[in-house]
Structure 1
Amino acid sequence: MWTGWWLWSLVAACSADSFRDEAERIMQDTPVVDGHNDLAWQLLDQFNNQLTLEAANLSTLASTHTNIPKLRAGFVGGQFWSVYTPCDTQNRDAVRRTLEQMDVVHRLCQTYPQAFLCVSSSAGIEQAFQEGKVASLIGVEGGHSIDSSLGVLRMLYRLGMRYLTLTHSCNTPWADNWLVDTGDEAAQSHGLSPFGKLVVKEMNRLGVIIDLSHVSVATMKAALQLSQAPVIFSHSSAYSLCAHQRNAAGVPCPLPARQTGPQPSALSPPLPEQNKTGSVVMVDFYNDYVSCRKEATLSEVADHLDHIKKVAGAGAVGLGGDYDGVTRLPVGLEDVSKYPDLIAELLRRNWTEDEVRGVLARNLLRVFRKVEEVSDHTQTPEELPIPLEQLDGSCRTLYGYSKAPSLRRQPGLLLAPLAPLFLSLSSVAP
């Protein structure tokens, strides 16, 4: 009796090792391309972007989910580094903060050339694979980073931005975020405003991937209908398994008090469009998005991958761990070194080698290539500015809006606030 159990345990252990060995074999030449990592934010938060500090050395840094040894152990061969600036920078210093974080990504490649290769194309990712380096790309997390300016959008592209998350956890003047669907924020654009549609069109023209994590359902639907290229959810899981509005919802999700009848599957409505465009949902590992609890497991993350594969096909699945952007991670996926364990679990669940290679990198590369194919820099750039009344003008000048007052045209405006002071002084003069 006990001998039988001992043999069963031995067989299970050997089987587990074989799946892990198989995962590593596959990942040797098809490493992970992860859609979202917030290491750049941690470097700002912990070290104020001072990369030369000994404490910030990525070969030894232990306070983050990500460092160079962990990336190598996790077979990470491509990373969209999240360039993130919080919503409280909107209408203030969002552009400056975004540029500073983009600078950090570029300096990572300069500081650690043996580990990172900054690239801006699908071909660049494959080059990094061949050189055994982490292809380092920039994803800007939040449309407020462009400050409602197509010119800023274009310049961020020239500096290396290859995806833009249309919103973070706040509305922009041209797109609504996911909190609209919870009732915590009011809809402003009811999806995309006319200017928001110009942003999407300009992203297509440039070759910037549209990222729909963080957006409202209406914004997602509008972008899916408008975009001529596939989109991604850079770090979202499946709403059907965890009913959090940050997950890849794609369905009308009104407040529970307004909901009547059973809530439909979160992935079902957009999938026909996603299948037509070849879009990808890159599964997030944050416990709250995996299990809707403070605790989660690697197996539950694999459940999300299974669900998306079942509903949308294996070509719709990717990985966007959200490392260094979240505080709670599943048991078994505590840092970036754990990716082989997740791939071993997929193999254990009878995913084929081709399907696994798709999840690791090929699905994202397919989207990227299609975005590049759709782009056309010979087209005339979009130029129409956002209407002035849609902007918060408290911290901005108004140059370029022909009906707006300018200091050059009305120099008297400089002296007007001082008039009461001059009058008071003249009244007491001897």
Structure 2
Amino acid sequence: MLPKEMLAWGLVLLMSNFAVTVAHETLDRALRLMSETPLIDGHNDLPWKLRQIFNNKINKVDLNTLSTTHTNIPKIKAGRLGAQFWSAYVPCDTQDKDAVRQTLEQIDLIHRMCNKYPETFRFAYTAQDILNAFHSNRIASLIGVGGGHSLDSSLGTLRIMYDLGVRYLSLTHSCNTPWADNWLVDTGSEPSEHAGLSPFGKRVIVEMNRLGMMIDLSHTTVNVVNQVLDISEAPVIFSHSSAYSLCPHKRNVPDEVLKKVKLNRGIVMVNFYNDYVTCSEKATLSDVADHFDHIRNVAGADIIGFGGNYDGITRVPEGLEDVSKVPDLVAELVRRGWSDKEVKMALGENLIRVMRAVEWVRDSMASAAPDEEPIPYNEVKRKCRTSHGYADAAAVHPLSTLALLLTLALQAFFTFTA
């Protein structure tokens, strides 16, 4: 080998070794930060996978060895997960049918999962519970309900779900409810039914504030977002959405909304789904980091979080194939010059702050009575719904009864005179 070739080869080796050293240093720093601050992920659909594959029979599955999902216990531990919002999701085709029952079964599943693996999971109700679980080396487990159709337009159901541990509600999923429009309206593929929120929908927001339940806007229209931001006394969340400017998908958050979330002191938790990262079937870890950078540049590091959407997505970025890979994303943020403070905010401090603010609003409204006024019956009247408790709807029944009696009387008369 000629001297010049030897020198060039030596430089290549030197640069390669330097790159490896830097990579190790950034990962080490990322892992240190993750040991000091819990990584809180806003959305994981493992419970729905367990419904699809095992019909919720978790005694038939071992989460230590399950290999067909993005999430299992070894992957969670390798990913240094500190807290997870598990999605109690049921599809839109349950609306006006059995959505409440199916959602309650998903809530039950999450509780049973925590009870089956107490050495790994600890159920959490409050921001402090998250920190307590983290300090005891457990994964704080919380519940988010994945669509307003799960309420069956009932504030009583909302309150019961809160009592069962639900700490956020996605106002819609991919269907309009009788009181809110979903994100597909903004694509033009579905008509708007409420121009955002109906009057009852606005009352849902107030009741969520009173309860201390976080409002998730990830699947709503921009009209709903703006109306909620005008109404809510508490910060809001986007549990799994990315930046619209980098991928103009209607599930993502436009810059003007990012700025409003900043004023609201809320949080946008970045989704890893390729279609929301690059608007294509392929994406990389670096592409996801671009969304973190963009949101930081537009509105600051204090509104950013992680919302991977694992086990609810069909395509994942190269380098983020499952939950275990998340430390590599944190290391990428470190490599890009994020300060320790900024990384810690994105990891979990932002969500803890939001949750504490929601709890503060709840406490400040402690003297307010629960909203007892039901949604107007004509807004939810369906063949599977009764009208018990609706005085105006019940008033229809005497007329129907009278018509029936007249019909029977006429039939009897003609029979008698025939």
Indicate whether the TM-score tops 0.5: yes
Deviation at 1:403, TM superposition (A): 2.0
Residue type of the partner of 2:222? V
Aligned position for 2:25:
18
Structure 2 unaligned residues grouped into runs of 5+: 1-7
- Spell out the pairing of 1:242-281 with structure 2 (5 A cutoff): 242-248=247-253, 266-267=254-255, 269-281=256-268
Aligned position for 1:39:
46
Aligned position for 1:385:
374
| Contact 1:91–1:392 under 8 Å retained in 2 | no
Aligned position for 2:235:
230
Map Cα deviations across residues 321-342 of structure 1 (whole Å, 9 max, x no partner). 0000001000000100011100
Rounded to whole Å, the distance in 1 between the matches of 2:278 and 2:298 is 19
Residue type of the partner of 2:249? H
Residues 50 and 407 (structure 1), Cα distance of their counterparts in 2 relative to 1, 3 Å cut: farther
Counterpart check, 1:60 vs 2:65: yes
Map Cα deviations across residues 119-166 of structure 1 (whole Å, 9 max, x no partner). 110010011001111100000010111111111111111111100000
Aligned position for 1:402:
391
Rounded to whole Å, the distance in 2 between the matches of 1:323 and 1:168 is 16
Aligned position for 2:5:
none
Rounded to whole Å, the distance in 2 between the matches of 1:398 and 1:406 is 10
| Contact 2:121–2:141 under 8 Å retained in 1 | yes
Map Cα deviations across residues 302-324 of structure 1 (whole Å, 9 max, x no partner). 00000000000000110000000
Deviation at 1:272, TM superposition (A): 4.0
Counterpart check, 1:135 vs 2:122: no
Deviation at 1:381, TM superposition (A): 1.1
Deviation at 1:389, TM superposition (A): 1.1
Residue aligned with 1:403, SS: helix
Deviation at 1:394, TM superposition (A): 1.3
- Spell out the pairing of 1:116-265 with structure 2 (5 A cutoff): 116-248=121-253
Deviation at 1:176, TM superposition (A): 0.5
Q: Which has the higher helix share?
A: 2
Residue type of the partner of 1:36? H
Aligned position for 1:355:
342
Deviation at 1:388, TM superposition (A): 1.0
| Contact 1:157–1:208 under 8 Å retained in 2 | yes
Of 342, 356, 359 in structure 1, the residue corresponding to residue 329 of structure 2 is 342
| Contact 1:191–1:218 under 8 Å retained in 2 | yes
Rounded to whole Å, the distance in 1 between the matches of 2:396 and 2:199 is 30
Map Cα deviations across residues 242-282 of structure 1 (whole Å, 9 max, x no partner). 0100111xxxxxxxxxxxxxxxxx21x23443222211100
Deviation at 1:383, TM superposition (A): 1.7
Residues 294 and 272 (structure 1), Cα distance of their counterparts in 2 relative to 1, 3 Å cut: closer
Identical-residue share of aligned pairs (%):
55
Counterpart check, 1:91 vs 2:92: no
Residue type of the partner of 2:354? V
Aligned position for 1:259:
none
User: Which protein is bigger by CA-based radius of gyration?
Assistant: 2
| Contact 2:38–2:131 under 8 Å retained in 1 | no
Rounded to whole Å, the distance in 2 between the matches of 1:402 and 1:391 is 15
Aligned position for 2:84:
79
Counterpart check, 1:30 vs 2:37: yes
TM-score computed with the length of structure 2 as normaliser: 0.93
Deviation at 1:298, TM superposition (A): 0.1
Equivalent residues, number: 403
Residues 20 and 206 (structure 1), Cα distance of their counterparts in 2 relative to 1, 3 Å cut: same
Please tell me the root mean square deviation across aligned C-alpha atoms, in Å: 2.1
| Contact 1:137–1:161 under 8 Å retained in 2 | yes
Map Cα deviations across residues 76-110 of structure 1 (whole Å, 9 max, x no partner). 01000001010010111000011000000000111
Residues 125 and 410 (structure 1), Cα distance of their counterparts in 2 relative to 1, 3 Å cut: farther
Of 297, 302, 305 in structure 1, the residue corresponding to residue 289 of structure 2 is 302
Residue type of the partner of 2:176? N
Structure 1 unaligned residues grouped into runs of 5+: 249-265
Rounded to whole Å, the distance in 2 between the matches of 1:334 and 1:226 is 38
Residue aligned with 2:394, SS: coil
Residue type of the partner of 2:378? E
Rounded to whole Å, the distance in 2 between the matches of 1:409 and 1:50 is 48
Of 119, 129, 132 in structure 2, the residue corresponding to residue 114 of structure 1 is 119
| Contact 1:29–1:129 under 8 Å retained in 2 | no
Rounded to whole Å, the distance in 2 between the matches of 1:204 and 1:404 is 30
| Contact 1:242–1:291 under 8 Å retained in 2 | yes
